[in-house]
């Protein structure tokens, strides 16, 4: 390990990977939804939940970028920080955690709703349930890993 490698490099890199995994699952659901035969209102509701989460992930990626600066990972690159960025990494860590948590709860509710609809309508929604459930499971696993990395960073 080089002397100029930050002790934060590995957890921050892991945060980016987690964010990418979540974003890939969002993109996959949005692409595959088009192949399913669903009522328009249900399709719109699912798309909206996943698009909103994708938007959150875009913002989270920018905050991870700011976090790098706040952690002193790029001291010579002043352009790394947002002009309105707080200089306390714990504030940014909390912001990232809150954003992902609040939108992940919405996705979990979507899964529960799909299961309830599927129970009422038989196999008509089985593909939608499988698609959304598996993707949300992947998202929640990546979210849990990201939370562990955020905890590691907060403790330093």
Task: Report yes or no on 3 lying in a domain.
Answer: no
CB neighbour list of residue 141: distance below 8 Å, 6 or more residues apart: none
Task: Report yes or no on 4 lying in a domain.
Answer: no
What's the pLDDT score for residue 83? 54
What's the pLDDT score for residue 6? 81
Task: Report yes or no on 55 lying in a domain.
Answer: yes
Task: Report yes or no on 119 lying in a domain.
Answer: yes
* Cβ contacts of 31-34, under 8 Å, gap ≥ 24: 32/131, 33/128, 33/131
Task: Report yes or no on 1 lying in a domain.
Answer: no
CA 58/CA 40 separation, integer angstroms: 26
Total number of domains constituting the chain: 1
pTM for the model? 0.86
- In this prediction, residue 29 has a pLDDT band, given cuts at 50, 70 and 90, of very high
Segment holding 18, helix H or strand E: helix 9-33
**Token digits for 95?**
């912001």
pLDDT in tens, 114-123: 999 988 877 7
- Give Dmax (Cα) for the chain: 61
Task: Report yes or no on 142 lying in a domain.
Answer: yes
What's the pLDDT score for residue 102? 86
What is the rounded (10 degree) CA torsion for 143, 148, 151, 152?
A: -130
**Where in the sequence is the domain holding 104, given as residue range(s)?**
9-155
Task: Report yes or no on 2 lying in a domain.
Answer: no
Backbone angles phi, psi at 22, to 5 degrees: -65, -45
């Amino acid at each position: 390990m080089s002397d100029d490698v930050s002790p934060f490099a590995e957890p921050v890199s892991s945060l980016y990977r987690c964010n990418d995994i979540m974003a890939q699952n969002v993109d996959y659901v949005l692409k595959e939804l088009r192949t399913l035969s669903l009522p328009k209102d249900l399709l719109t509701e699912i798309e909206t939940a996943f698009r909103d989460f994708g938007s959150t992930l875009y913002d989270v990626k920018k905050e991870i970028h700011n976090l790098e600066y706040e952690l002193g990972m790029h001291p010579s690159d002043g352009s790394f920080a947002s002009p309105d960025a707080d200089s306390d990494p714990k504030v940014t860590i909390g912001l990232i955690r809150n954003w992902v948590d609040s939108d992940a709860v919405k996705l979990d509710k979507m899964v529960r709703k799909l299961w309830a609809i599927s129970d009422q309508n038989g196999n008509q929604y089985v593909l939608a349930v499988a698609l959304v459930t598996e993707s949300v499971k992947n998202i929640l696993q990546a979210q849990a890993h990201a939370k562990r990395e955020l905890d590691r960073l907060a403790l330093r």
